[in-house]
Each structure stands twice: as structure tokens, then as C-alpha cells.
A and B are shown apart, each in its own frame.
Chain A
Amino acid sequence: MFSRVLAILGIIALASILVVAGCGKKPAIEEKIEPPTQPETPPTDTITEPKLPDEGTVERLTEDQFRIVYFDFDKYNLRPDARTALEFNARLLKKNPDVNVLIEGHCDERGTVEYNLALGEKRAKSAMDYIKSLGIDASRLRIISYGKERPVALGHDEASWAKNRRAKFTITSQ
């Protein structure tokens, strides 16, 4: 009886992870799983571990499953789409309690290096504060600002700028 409940729970967990993975921009399958960590003959003691489901290896969380949070020019307040993205990211973090993240704040190229460095940190902090308010423990979250130093789009128009004004989640440990 008990084992059946466990099995059902396992299926539900696996299914929800697959759903979550499906929502991400890239399928999780693309992430390379380090096979060399497993010796040719698996030691028996790992099999006796309680973590029987293979979610830890197959469904390892990847950075690009986190949604990127975008901002308006010279602003660090969260737009509705930013909140939606952060709520998604918070769900990912809840499902992966061992994952810690670094939230990077970025800016577009307009304005000075110095001001943008501070603005980028405010963006990262806005994102972090909202994630915390959704129940994620502060100890799992760190922030850094790269100001305007690491653009993803290199054009000098609003289309590029909009892509660069962002808060990006990167995994620091899992």
C-alpha cells in the first residue's frame, strides 16, 4: 500500500517536472548529463539510496529553464510580464530545493557605466525581493550587477536595448 502511494507520488513529481520543462525555452533533454560520473559498474550502495527516481540525473535543472525578466528604460520596478516570469522561476526553485541561484542585473548601453552598475543591482534586487516574497529562502539567492557591461544584443536600437534590460537567473549550486 505504502509503496503504491510512493509510486504515485513519484509519477506526479516526474510529470510536473516534465510539464515545467516543457514550458522552458529549450527542452531539458538538450542539457548534457555528465555520464562519466557513473562508473561502468554502478556501486550497489547508490541503488539502496532512498532517492530511487532518476529525476536527479535525468531532469537536472538548467539555467535556460529560468525565464528572463525584462525592464523598462531607467526603471527597476517589475512589469506584469516580469512578475509572471518571476512566479514561474519561483515555482522552479520550489520544485528544486537544492538549487541556489545568482540573479544578474543588466542594463542597456544608454547612460553612464557607473549609474548603470547601480541600476543593474536594483533590477536584480527587485527580482530577488519578489522571489523571496513568493516563499523562496533568502539563503538560496544572491545578486550581482553587470551594469551595461554584458549585453546579449549588440544593436543600438530599442529592440536590442529591450533585450539587454534584464535580470537573468544563473545556477550557483544544485
Chain B
Amino acid sequence: MTELLVGKSMKRKEDQRLLTGRGRYVDDIRRPGESHAYFVRSPHAHAEIRSVKKDAALASPGVLGVFTGKDIQRDNWGSIPCGWVVTDRYGKPHKAVPHYALTPDKARYVGDHVAVVVAETYAQARDAAELIEIDYHELPPVIDLATAMSGAQIHDLAPQNLCYDWELGEQAEIDAVFARAHHVASLDLVNNRLAPSPMEPRAALAEYDPAQESYTLWSTSQNPHMLRWMLSENVSGIPETKLRVISPDVGGGFGMKIYCYPEETTCLWLSKQVGRPVRWTGDRSESFLADAHGRDHRTRVELALDDKGIFLGLKVDTVANMGAYLSNYATSIPTYFYATLLAGCYKTPVIHCDVKAVFTNTSPVDAYRGAGRPEAAYLIERIIDVAAMEMGVDPIELRRRNFIKPADFPYQTPVHLIYDIGDYDASLDEALRMIDYAGFPARKAESKSRGKLRGIGVACYIEACGVAPSQLIGKMGAGAGLWESAQVRFNVTGTAFVLTGTHGHGQGHETTFGQIVADMFGIPIEHVELVHGDTSQVPMGMGTYGSRSLAVGGSAIVRAAEKVIAKGHKIAAHMLEAAENDVEYARGWYSVPGTNRKVKLTDVAKKAYIPVDYPVGLEPGLDETAFYDPANFTYPAGAHIAEVEIDPETGTLKIVDWVAVDDFGKVINPMIVEGQIHGGLAQGIGQAILENVVYDSETGQLLSGSFMDYAMPRADDFPNFKVGYTETPCTHNPLGAKGAGEAGAIASPPALINAISNALGIRHIDMPATPQRIWRAARAAGAADAQKE
């Protein structure tokens, strides 16, 4: 019998093509007769569009057409939807402002889509775009989040630029708790705006087939079925049967490629208009301008504690930036993926959260790796350190006193979620051991002898993954159920296709899912072929985000494989001339215990397709589909510790050590999971010390609009990461898996800011903690110390 593959660090199946230049990304696909689209984007943050003169552009060489939002509107194409209805504190739905592929009336951010040119070549389209004359009437832009509600109104539907004013918890209850608190720690903090920046820019290629009256759209999408659904139902009216969406190899997504975007929507419309395939590939400048950004909160957080340091209540007041339009899931991120996580790993009995979501003249904001959960973890783990400092308690000890303990599970938090399992002390113990926490004072003293400030910071995070139980999110306003589908299709010769509604764009699904199926069927992994990213091949699925692919998609695959085995059981019983009840199955073999009679699953598959001597009533074929709707979220958790050294003379920061201990439940491929942690850490550390999207507060021009201005983390910004695991298997899915994609990005910002604050001996420093900010903080702290002396 072959070795079990689950739990092994198998090298990836997808590497061969990607390492030899044979990957097929959207921009690598060529269609005969394809034309090129170039978008004319608003140079103004906020302006009425009075007129668009196309004549000169239309006369330019190679131009096939020039179109505006009014042209698309004449075809009755609708608004790109926001699929998650958030009900505000007065019981009213959020302000669902329209979002057209090309804006017909008003430009609402720098980079907004005003017109499109289609030409024989990209260069011709771009040249012609220069000749379009647009008469703009500039309006005052609304940029600063703090004053957005008193700025000029961006949407007719949304007075005060307010999308919703939402509340979770009871005001009277939290007030009572704070009234009897021994200590209240409070902090104002910024969760900085980020540009997700996968290395592959977004791209689309649309083709119309007049014979079938059908469309094919190749898109850099994380969830092709959802894209098809939105384009079909909300935007175009093209029936799903006439619209095929294909996501081939995709060069990273991180949430940003979940959404339905104006560019791909426009290309789809254009493909019929110009009667030619239409291609658009964004350049990086367009990515910065018009990809959905992440985070962008301003928050006041207050933690009430008793005299023993037990948490009594948490009060959070957040203003969240929606940008100029609502991206597909924008409303849910600062509410249901944020406030519901505010218990963290702790038994805080009362939690109250206010969220005002506001429109500004900036790019739309939506989910980015972690999506709401990093914002929650950041404020919880920061305010605990502040409270510890103010009360003179060790921050580790303060966390332990308030942890939900293993005996408390399942644990009902005051903010909707029920955690199924976890062991937070175990992760923390292991992290402290791995970083030699006890040796820190000696290391700090050694640094001090060299004039350097050393600091250590811990963050204990929890996240809700395995998105998501349909009934629960339905109650929260979701317009979709977030189950997943799988189809396992045995072939005559004993190989198997596995079709999944998730989509891999770096996560190694072909390998991980292959390991699971190969083990269940006792066949080599080379005989398992994963099919994903094509709506015409794969049953309806919900895509990849929210660390859901393994926990939900993998569970669906297990269920489909179980159905295959169950069907095979009947066939095997016939082949073995035994009663079904007498036949047992284990890893590729059906056998009759106590006899030497056995038959391989692969031979059963062959029989299923050549049923010449089948009994009456037994159905041919071995091809089963399952839909899996999780019973609950999964709750990965862990402890990360950062150790830093700061040069107070220059503000330069060196991350000298990093330990990440995570509980992802059962791990299928440790190598791949470790890679996910590394990547998440890099993005979280990037947020904490490097990255920041900056708009000019007066003009709304994007100041961080290229890799020269936006500080992407580079190889020499990082140390080697030390990764450890603890394991409490998820209790409600067949794999025991919780999901690993987002943890690094959630845990690392608070761990690092805690370490920097610790090194400087200060309460807080805002992200990104750049050398300049650190230098200023070090100077201020030094001056304060000198005054005391």
C-alpha cells in the first residue's frame, strides 16, 4: 500500500509549468482578431462630466470605437452590485449607491473610468485616448476620513457621505460596565490604507460568439462563478448559460481579485459592440489607482478592566473608508468581519462597537488579506499592551488572565460567533519558548551597550475562517451562501478529475487537494487532476477568499469522494458477489473481511463505465457531486512574537527575530502552509512599517501611485521567520482543518507595533512605523525621560 500523503510536505504539482515559463495568465492568452481597450481615467478626484468630444480620437489610426458611460447605459447595463446588505442602527439598509462600469455623470476619484478607446493595438488605443476632450467641472474633493462627513456630497443617495452608521452591542450595557471599571485604557489609532498589489496586474479578455450568442470572459478572478453571477443578474442580463468566465493561472489576489470590476465589465460589453475579442491588461499605475484598496480605519478603542486586570468591557468606535463606490463586499468588512472578532482570544463579557462607513473621493476599499480581522486583532492586541503598561502588569500575564481556556469551548462570544475549539496558552507557551523570552532582558542589555533600543512584542490573534456558514451570514445580510461544491469524476482507466469551485492563485490547491484525494482513493497523486476556474466545466462554486478553500472547498471534495466510495461499494459488492454490508473499504480497496476476496477501486471504476454484466437497478458511471455548507466558521489562532532593535539616532529598525506559532487545526501540506505564513507575515509587516496609500488631502491625487512611491516590502526588509504549530483540530469539518491564508497578515502588525512601542517605552506609534516616525518618537521619549531625570 502506498504511503499516506496527507501531512507530508509534498512538492507542488503546479511548479513545473510556472518555473519554465509555461504558466498561462490572462495576458498570455491570445485570441484571433483581438483588439485592445484603453481606459480614459479621471484626472480629478471629484468632478462633473459636462461633455466628452470623441471625434479626433475616432479618426486616429487603428481606432475601432470610443465609448462613454452613456453608451453603455443605452444598452441598459446596470450597476455593479454590493452584495452584502448592512442594516444600520435605525433598521435601514446601507446606502447602495450606483457604480457603473463607466461613470456617466460624475468622476468620483482620480482613476475613475470615464471613457474607453478600442483599437487594433494597445499603443493606438493609448495614443487616441490622448485626443479625447473631456470638459470637467471640478467639485471640492472629499479625502480626509476625519472630515468626510462634512465634505461635499459625493452621491445623491448618501447625505453626509454616510453609507451606514452601524452598532453592535447595547450602549447602556457597555456604559454600566465602564462606570464600575477600576481602570480604562484608551487609544486612538489608524489602520492604514493598503494597496494589495499582487505581482500580476488585473486583466480581462472578452469574446462574443454571434453564432451561439454567447460570451467568454477570461479574468484574473479569484471567484469566476461569483463574477458570472453578478455580471449576469445585476449588470448585463446575459443569461448564465451564455456567459462563460475563465480564471486561468492568476498571479496572486489577496482579496483584491475577488470583485467584479469596471474594466472587465466594459470589455464584456465591448466584445459585442466591436464584434472582436477585446483585451485589457492594467499597468501598475492603473492598479494603484483603481484596484480595491484595503483597511483604512480610524478608531478609538477603550478597554475597561477590574483591579485584577480582568477585562470587563471593550468599546470601539470606528470610521471606515468605503472609497468612492461600494465594491462588492465592502460593507461587510468593517462590520461582520470586524466587530464579530472583537472578543479576540479573551473572555471580554461586554463589547460595543460603532462603525460609521463613509464615502470619500478615493479608490473603493474592500477585503484585503484578513479583511476586518486584522483591524480587530490590531486594536485588541494594542490596547492590551497599553493597559498592561498603564497598570504595571506584564503584558503576557494580562493576556493569560483573560484567555478563553480549553475547558470553555464551545465558547459563545458576546459578538455573535461561537468558537468551537482552541488552546491559546499552548500557542503562547510555544512561541515564548521558541524566541527564548526569558533571555530577552540580557539581549536588551547587550543592545543597550551598543546604544541600541531592543523591544519585544507579542500578539495573540484569532480569526474566523472557512467562510462561511450560509444561514449565519444570511442573518448578517449576505446576499449569497458561502458553501462550496466539488465533483469527483473517475475515468475508465482509474484516473480522477476533481472539480472545485475554489480557485488557486498561488496556494497550491492542485497539490493539497491532490494529496487528500490520492489518499482517499489509494491512487498516485499524478492520477488526480484538479479542474478549477472555468464556469463551463465546474459546478457552481463560490471561489477563494477568507481562508476557505481547504476548510470549505476541501471538505466538499471529501464529501464528493465519499459519495464515489459509497457508489463504488454497491459495484464492488456485485463484483465480489457479497452483500453490501459485508464489504469494507480502505484506501483504494474493497474487501470482504475474513476472506481473500478484494477488488481495487480503480477496477470498480472501470466496471462502472463498462457495466455489461451489471445487475438490474445499478446505475453506471462513477462521478459524484457534493455541496458542502460549513456548520460554523473555523477559528485559527496563535501567538506571534517580534523582536526588534532600533537605532535611536536614525530611527532605523531591524527585525532581529520573528516567531509565529499558529493553530490551523489539521495541516495537509506543512510546506505549503509555512509558505502561506511567510507571505502573510510579509504583508502584515509591510503594513506595520512600510506600506501606506497616501492621497493628497486637498486635491485627491494619489501620491503613492507607483512602486517608486509605495513601499513594497523587499527581500532585505525581513529576517528568517521561525514557524511553529500547535494543533486543535476543527470540530465540525471532515478534515479538521481551519485555514492558513490570512493568519500572518493578521498577527504581525500588532506584534511588530507592540515590539516597537516596547523598545521605545511608549504607549503607541501609528502604522506605518517608518524610520522617520520612529526617530521622532524616540526623540520625544528621550526628551520626556530627560525631563523626569
A binds B: no
Residues of B within 8 A of A (CB): none
Residues of A within 8 A of B (CB): none
